[in-house]
Amino acid sequence: MKELSAIDLEIVGFNGAPLVECGRALPIARRKSDGTHAVLDLSDGVARLNWHSEGEAAALLANGRWTKLEKSVFVPQSCCEGAGQFVNQPMVIYADESMLDTADRLPRPPMPSGEYMIWRRLQSHPETVQAACGSAETVEKLLDDWGAALLKRFDAMYRIGRDDEYLKRIADFALCAARNKDLRWRAYSYFATVRESVRMRDTFATFIQREFPAANLEDFMNMAADLKAWLGHVAPLASQPGPPSSEPSSALPKVRGMARARRDSEDELFAK
C-alpha cells in the first residue's frame, strides 16, 4: 500500500466532543485527493487507518461522534518530514476562554515549545472555544502548563479568601488540563481542600483510586488536611505523603520539613 503523505491531508476536526473546558483528542483528517475522512491515529501505522466517505463522515458529525473546525488547518510540520512522512503523532488541543483567562494564559499561544499552531473556532460552538493541532508531545506540555498555572491561581485565590465554589471551579479546570501524573495528584489534593470530606471519599473511590490504584484514603485525606493548613499559613503537624510509591511516575511529590519554615510557593510544598 502506498505510504500516506501528510501533504495530501488537512485537519478538519477532532474525535469526540468538547465536554469539558479543555482537553486533547485525535485529529480528524480529510484526504484532499478523494475527500475521505479518518481518525488520524498512527499507533498502528497509517496502513491501519479506517477511511470514511464524505457521507459517512457527515453522519458521524451529525451524531456528535466528531467535532468540526470552522476552517481546516494543515498537518503540523513537527509531525512529518521529507515528502510528508509521519514521524510524530498529531493531536488536537481545545480550550475555553474562561479557563485560559483563569490560568492567565490569554491570548492563546501561537508557538508553544517553538511549534507553530493555528487556532480555529469550532463549528456550532461558542466563539470562546477554539482548537489547534500540534504534535502530541507539545500538546501534553501545553496542557500541563495550563494545569500548573491554575494551581498557582488556586493558591493565590485561597489566600485572599475566595469562596469554596470558586476554588472548586479552578481545581476542576486544573484536572481537565493536567496530564502529568504528579500534577494530577496535586490537582486532586487541591480539590480535596475545598470539598466536603464525605463527598471527597466518594470522589476518591470513583476517580482517584482508578488513576492511583495503590493510594490509601486515610493518607490522602491527611495529606489534604496538611495542604489546607499550609494554604492558610498554619504550620501542619505532620508531613504530607505523596502518591503511593508503586505508581509508575518516577518523581512523586512529597513535603519535607513543612513545620520548619513558612513556604512562599506551592512549588516548594510539593518539591521532590
Instruction: Quote the number of domains for the chain.
Output: 2
User: 167-215 pLDDT, tens per residue?
Assistant: 999 999 999 999 999 999 999 999 999 999 889 999 999 999 999 999 9
Q: What pLDDT does residue 83 have?
A: 85
Burial letters 19-54, b for 16+ CB under 10 A, else e: eebbbbbbbbbbbeeeebbbbbbbeeebeebebbee
Q: Which mean pLDDT values do the consecutive 10-residue runs of the chain (272 residues) have?
A: 82 97 98 96 92 97 97 96 93 98 95 95 96 97 98 94 96 97 96 92 94 94 92 49 44 27 34 30
Whether 109 and 206 map to the same domain: the answer is no
pLDDT for 266 equals 37
Q: What is the pLDDT of residue 254?
A: 27
CA atoms of 158 and 46, how far apart (whole Å): 48
H or E, element range at 105? none
**194 and 97 in one domain?**
no
Domain shared by 49 and 116, yes or no:
yes
What pLDDT score does 243 carry? Answer: 57
Q: Which of 112, 140, 168 is the last residue of a domain?
A: 140
Answer left, alpha or beta for residue 100, where phi above 0 means left and psi between -120 and 50 means alpha.
Answer: alpha
Output the pLDDT for position 259. 25
Residues 10 and 135 in one domain: yes
pLDDT at 255 (0 to 100) = 25
Q: Which of 140, 169, 188 is the last residue of a domain?
A: 140
The residue range of the domain holding 133 is 6-140
Of 76, 109, 140, which closes a domain? 140
For residue 57, tell me if it sits in a domain.
Answer: yes
Q: Measured between alpha carbons, how far is 236 from 224 in angstroms, rounded to an integer? A: 11
Q: Is residue 218 part of a domain?
A: yes
- Cα-based distances in Å from 18 to 67, 124, 150, 191, 251: 8, 12, 19, 22, 31
